[in-house]
Amino acid sequence: MTSRAVSFSPVAAARALGLYLRPRPLAAFLLGISSGFPLTLLLATMTYWLSKVGVDKKTIGFAVGLTTPYTLKFLWSPLIDRLRLPVLDGLLGQRRAWLFLVGLLLMGAIWQLGHSDPVTQLGRFAAWAIIVAFLSATQDIVIDAYRIEILPPEQLAHGTALNQFGYRTGNLLAGAGTVWLATQHGWAAAYSLTGLLVLCGLVAALWAGDTAHSRTVADAPRSGEPVPARLARWLNDTLVGPFAEFFRRNGVSGALLILGFVLIYKLGDAMANIMLSPLIVELGFTDDQYIAANKLVGFWALIAGTALAAPFLSLVGMGRALIITGVLMMVTNLGFAVLAMVGNDPVVLGLVIGLENFTSGLGLTVFVTYLSGLSNVAYTATQFALLSSLAAVGRTWLSAPSGILAENLGWVGFYFVTTLVALPGLVLLWLIWRRSNTGPQSV
């Protein structure tokens, strides 16, 4: 990680903005839609659905545990990194073969989830939610690796920004869009139609083409090498190599600092957002007000924050960008506390959601660009899955008690606590920054 900013002239600004229009960053946008919408169906939309049918806040808080596969995806990511699928691999290449297989299965699972009633079929509902989470997490493994591999280094920040824009577009379509569809046609039809967003990623994969990884993933057997020795070498390269390389490249202390930072950096933000739907329902906002705040204010604020991320990185450098956006995301939690104190005021709701979406779009793009840069292209899927899995732990299990905290502290006290929870992540970031500026390695 470096804190050094680069010079930024009007010509450089025009060139930086022009990179957004290149084919592969645009493909990253479509991949982001496919990657972003399933998690929204499992968190924001599902918790809104559960709130509307009368499920209590404590249960809703722990419902995020259904997304556990996102926190464990690094366990099977080495197989996704190395295994070839029969027939599909020859037609599409290793990355795209996995993307098509998982995408088609994911559409079917979302259809089943939408046709499960959380009131009368809770077991079936939970089972299909877990299956959707597993397939979505697997899709993320493939998409993240594929995105990093198709983007040239000079387009990584812009492709990541457009990917996050696509991710948030998927969030919007699966959030406000699915809620609107549910008001018109019911939850089953709403989930089924939203599941078709998987097709965006499949179209992007056909457009962007194959990657070099797909052509080199299978090591040729060495002359005279016995089958057991080849199998042992394959297992070592697949399961041990990615993690060993990460610790070797960053040093043990540096690697542990990075992993700790990734784990807790967005914990406060995650806790705040998990309880946003119950807060809005409890304050008495209507479906139309919820949709309007997200569509008319939040979405455009998100576009602004995401679009500014790449130029912002060029201006201040990665280290300062992470610190500034971390502080901004922490401060936005206080906005939710203000909303809780004011009560049912659509103007305040729009302002708070707008500010949260702007800082989140800016901050998440910076954060994912940082994670992408940490991944060695030889082990893209595994190393990025490890890092993003740790980030997901903060979003799921560490933030699962949010409902209990909100129940005991009240909304105002809860959102003040989520603000304080963000501080340890900033402390770890400062330690990483200091190490990268003074130590022999850049992390």
Asked whether 3 and 437 are in contact (CB, 8 A), the reply is: yes
* Domain-located, residue 387: yes
* Domain-located, residue 367: yes
Q: Which residues form the domain of 287?
A: 18-219+230-438
* Domain-located, residue 13: no
Give the global pTM.
0.69
In this predicted structure, the answer to whether residue 295 has a pLDDT above a threshold of 80 is no
In this predicted structure, the answer to whether residue 133 has a pLDDT above a threshold of 60 is yes
* 249's tokens: 């490249």
Amino acid at 255: A
* Domain-located, residue 312: yes
Tell me the residue ranges of DSSP E strands in 67-187: none
* Domain-located, residue 7: no
Based on the number of CB atoms within 10 Å of its own CB, is 9 exposed (0-12), middle (13-18) or buried (19 or more)? Answer: exposed
Overall average pLDDT of the 221-238 stretch: 66
* 132's tokens: 């959707």
* Domain-located, residue 188: yes
Give the whole-angstrom CA distance, residue 172 versus residue 328: 22
In this predicted structure, the answer to whether residue 197 has a pLDDT above a threshold of 90 is yes
Domain of residue 297, CATH code = 1.20.1250.20
pLDDT for the residue 208: 83
* Domain-located, residue 348: yes
Amino acid at 154: E
Q: pLDDT per residue over 296-331, tens digit each?
A: 788 788 888 888 888 888 788 888 888 898 888 888
- 136 HSE (CA, 13 A, CB side): 33
Q: pLDDT per residue over 14-23, tens digit each?
A: 565 666 677 8
pLDDT for the residue 17: 61
* Domain-located, residue 427: yes
Number of domains forming the structure of the chain: 1
pLDDT for the residue 213: 56
Averaged pLDDT of the chain = 80
Q: pLDDT per residue over 62-88, tens digit each?
A: 666 777 788 788 788 888 877 888 888
